[in-house]
Amino acid sequence: MAIGWFALLYKITPGSEEEVGRLFRETGLAEPVVRNDDGEIVGQLITNLVFAGNGHACRVVEFEGELRWVGKHMGGQKVIQDFERDVDQYVEVERDMSDLPGRMAFYREAGMRHVLERSYESSGSGAESTWFSLLYKLKPGHEEAVSELFANSPRPDHEVHADDGSELGRLLTTQVFVGNGHAVRAIEVEGDIRTVAAHIGSQPAVAAFEAQVEEHLREPRDVRSPEGAKSFFATEGMQNVLLRRFEPGLAEAARAG
């Protein structure tokens, strides 16, 4: 089965990020195996990543199978229904999560399309990786142009080295989602996130991309200087508050069993 990604973006009350992160972390485990309306096994959940910061939360999901069945499966899970009920007080959009059609309507509205995935080899050092994400607030109608910019952006030099040649860190993964007036760039790194981000941002090709995307943003910014880049990370950054993974192959095992 094909592997895919999607994201849901929640606009939440500023100042509620810590509480919303807690609600995500305390959510029970969803059933990973996905079935269609006939009860046939058609996929599974693989990864659930959540970021929160600056008035937003973003749930990123990796899955096997078709998105329509994965979305319906998630909307029908009691642990997710309970979470959506508890988080509703912090969500700043009108929505009706009392039944499956209402939940599916919200997921369509909050959904973000996966437009870029890039992966790089780990150093093999065994060092823990860290996730972080950046939120780009787009002008209305500019989602397609921004999607193309991300899709055509060059690969950066992903390794960070000290003057003596020792490795300080590296970029492992980049995932980008676009939808409903926003883009989210999620990155996984080894080493200090600030050191890796500064190395990536200092490269001419990356600077050229950021200059091109500037005209599509709702709010002006200046990332040409270290101070400007630091400010952008502080105002539009979202911290990783949850990471859960299921082993791939659960759907095949359940089908065989």
pLDDT of res. 110: 95
How confident is the model over 101-116, as pLDDT tens digits?
999 899 999 999 999 9
Stretch 217-224: mean pLDDT, rounded?
A: 83
Which band of pLDDT confidence, cut at 50, 70 and 90, is reported for residue 161? confident
CA distances from 52 to 148, 175, 191, 212, 243 (A): 26, 16, 21, 26, 12
DSSP for residue 39: S
Checking if the pLDDT of 223 tops 90, the result is no
Dist CA 77 CA 69 (whole Å): 12
- Tokens in use for 119? 């992966």
- Label the pairing between strands 3-11 and 56-64: antiparallel
pLDDT of res. 226: 67
Which band of pLDDT confidence, cut at 50, 70 and 90, is reported for residue 168? confident
Give all domains of the chain, ordered by start, each with its CATH number.
3-113+241-256 (3.30.70.1090), 115-240 (3.30.70.100)
Q: What is the CA radius of gyration of the chain?
A: 19
List, in sequence order, the alpha helices (H) in 159-249.
193-201, 204-213, 226-236
pLDDT of res. 127: 75
Which band of pLDDT confidence, cut at 50, 70 and 90, is reported for residue 196? confident
**195 or 66, which is more confident?**
66
How confident is the model over 30-66, as pLDDT tens digits?
999 999 999 999 999 999 999 999 999 999 999 999 9
- Tokens in use for 28? 């029970």
Across 39-43, 137-141, 155-159, least confident range:
155-159
Stretch 14-25: mean pLDDT, rounded?
A: 97
